[in-house]
Structure 1
Amino acid sequence: MRCDLPVYLSAPAHRLGERPHPVEDAVRAERISEKDAARYGYTALATSALSPVELAERAGADTLRRAGLDARQLTGVLHAWTYHQGHEFWSPAHYVADRLGAVAAEPVGIQQMCNGSMAAVSLAARELMADAAAGPVLVTTADCFAAPGFDRWGGDYGVAYGDGATSVLVSRTPLGRSARLLAWATVAAPQLEGMHRGEAPFSSAPQSGVRTLLPKVAKKQFLTAHPSLPFGPLARDAVVGAVSRALDSAGVAGDDPRLRAAALPRLARHVMADAYEPAFASVCAAPVRVLGTDTGHLGAGDAVANLADLLGRDDVRSGDLLVLLSAGAGFTWSAAILEVS
């Protein structure tokens, strides 16, 4: 979708877990094998003693301070997550809005798994383009993957999980360090939803804390039950499709010299090198910056954390184009094209 009216992603911030867990310690504790540690390429995972929403509150406060904006000026707070937020029967989006003082905002929870931040940004952008009275909107994400409920190092294939929160303003004018959202595109493959469900029966109550969540078990069950399902080609086509459509909508050629940098999900190094990066490079020449080796995958927050890191680079200047690629269980892939303000 093309943004024909000005929409900016302003003052992105992330609050990472305050306690790094080095990969060497995880290998010694047999949380991950030496072979997988080498393939994955993470040097450490961010871990936190705080709840996810406490991290989100801090990230949101950082964004508002950098933008010079009072929380009472917000018309929306969209909060995205993938995993337990600290309570079962409540609204974490309302918690974030209340703690920040966003008394005039409508809080909304976004559940699109690890594509959540991009889903929230797209919803906020649509609202700003459709309603002259809307905005600015604050998008936050937060996830923590503490034991015993989650095995952050060894519970999944091709990814290890870090704790952290992100925040960004979706605004009509640039507020602080910003990039204009030119266009975005999303591709979904709902036929893959069972990859995170497996063969387990539906339960009548949450299982968090009762058993350790192991996504790799559901993935193995699903792939065993569907041996002819072409997951690899489906994923490749989705990446190519999302990036191509976003570029086309923005009116940007894949080899445009203004394309300064691209950031992809914070997955394991071998997954990126073998699958995501070749698919991306087939349609876009933007140099891929490797981010997140010292954080791990941040659940719903990868895209905004990547934007914050890209805008913090010395070699990214006004007028440069950035590409963000996001992916989440379900599956959903999103790509966004931005111009640095």
Structure 2
Amino acid sequence: MGGIVDFEVRFPSSRARVQDMHADSGVSVADILAVTHTAEFPALGEHEQAWELAAEAARAVLARTGVSPDDIGHVIYAGSGEWDLPFWSPAAKVAGELGIGRAHCFEVANFCNAGMTAVRTGLNELALGAAPYALVLIGDRLSRLVDYTDPDSKALFNFGDAPAAVLLGREDCAFEVLTSSMRTDPSWADYYSGDLEDSQVLMRRRGRRQGLGDAYLENFPARVDDVLTALGRTLSDVSYFLINQGDKGMHERLLDRLGLPAERSVFSYDRLGHMGGSDLLIALRELTDHKRLETGDLLLLASSGMGFTWGVTAVEYRGR
């Protein structure tokens, strides 16, 4: 099937700070820290754009791997659909900056599940086409969608930014993608939506429907069962279970539901916010940088996005 050849994450130079959120919203520092678990984290500054950081990440990956821009057949830009400019193709913009002139460039919008959706889409495209590589770019701009003056938006105050690039290939993969399972429960479609205020789109929670946490605890284990059944494996074969860093309590409850110890996951809440689709790449980088992986390790990557969608992708570490 192919998989991830290499990847890179770029953090913005600016920071979102709990003290500023407190001053803007009136929510107590303690209540905000119960969401963020850290006093500050990376977020796009006033003059920073996600596509530029994604392009920097991609440029680093291409330089490190020696892959020619002419060998990339698809450039897929993933995120919420709220790009740096409206009615615009960030995939094409980055391709132009990198000298990628022979690729099909397009966008995938699936919120914080978009990165893994784009990986699956890119691998499907590789299976159908002649080009040996595809490039996935993750360009979430989550911090720009939060109204810090709105106390009801407190649950979103941990939204940060970390654009990234993922090079996919048929061979020489660091992580072979084995299978994935994704499912959307459309009954949650209107739980969040955006308002346009002063030329800025801001996320708003609609109503007070209960049960989203239960939906997470139902859907993620079901997706885990799907991929393990497809592989003929069990949870005892899983070396690490990684998940978007959106809710630490949910992360812990899910591990408990699956019967997995915290040591078989990665927690970055103490230093980073929720970095959207890049959360899983940050966790993978931590595992590789600290040499916690061995060739043949099976990892499950769990991602979710508004809609609500839940996905689990199984990868095998092939070593580097």
Which category describes the TM-score, using the shorter chain as reference length?
Answer: 0.7 to 0.9
**Hey, what does 2:123 align to over in structure 1?**
125
Shift of 1:44: 2.2
Matched, 1:287 2:290: no
Structure 2 CA distance for aligned equivalents of residues 286 and 335 of structure 1: 19
Structure 2 CA distance for aligned equivalents of residues 241 and 284 of structure 1: 19
Matched, 1:339 2:320: no
Shift of 1:234: 2.4
Matched, 1:299 2:280: no
Of residues 4, 12, 37 in structure 2, which corresponds to 1:9? 4
Structure 1 CA distance for aligned equivalents of residues 172 and 49 of structure 2: 31
**Hey, what does 1:210 align to over in structure 2?**
199
Shift of 1:94: 0.8
Aligned Cα root-mean-square deviation (Å): 2.7
For residue 191 of structure 2, what is the amino acid of its counterpart? Answer: M
Of residues 155, 158, 163 in structure 2, which corresponds to 1:165? 163
Distance 1:96 1:209, change over 3 A: farther
Structure 2 CA distance for aligned equivalents of residues 245 and 159 of structure 1: 33
**Hey, what does 1:311 align to over in structure 2?**
288
**Hey, what does 1:184 align to over in structure 2?**
180
Of residues 227, 234, 245 in structure 2, which corresponds to 1:246? 227
Of residues 129, 136, 140 in structure 2, which corresponds to 1:139? 136
Shift of 1:25: 5.6
Task: Give CA deviations for 1:82-112 in whole Å, capped at 9, x if unaligned.
Answer: 1532211211111111111111111010011
For structure 2, the 5+ residue unaligned runs are none
* Aligned positions, number: 313
Shift of 1:59: 1.3
Matched, 1:174 2:172: yes
Q: Calculate the TM-score normalised by the size of structure 2.
A: 0.87
SS of alignment partner, residue 303 of structure 2: strand
For structure 1, the 5+ residue unaligned runs are 201-206
Structure 2 CA distance for aligned equivalents of residues 58 and 181 of structure 1: 25
Distance 1:121 1:212, change over 3 A: closer
**Hey, what does 1:45 align to over in structure 2?**
41
Structure 2 CA distance for aligned equivalents of residues 264 and 89 of structure 1: 31
Matched, 1:270 2:242: no
Structure 2 CA distance for aligned equivalents of residues 311 and 150 of structure 1: 32
Structure 2 CA distance for aligned equivalents of residues 292 and 83 of structure 1: 25
Task: Give CA deviations for 1:255-313 in whole Å, capped at 9, x if unaligned.
Answer: 12xx3322111113233234x3334x248998111135423112333233333333323
Of residues 141, 147, 151 in structure 1, which corresponds to 2:147? 151
Structure 2 CA distance for aligned equivalents of residues 195 and 8 of structure 1: 33
Task: Report if the CA contact (8 A) 1:185-1:336 is conserved.
Answer: yes
Structure 2 CA distance for aligned equivalents of residues 96 and 31 of structure 1: 39
Structure 2 CA distance for aligned equivalents of residues 158 and 35 of structure 1: 15
Distance 1:145 1:327, change over 3 A: closer
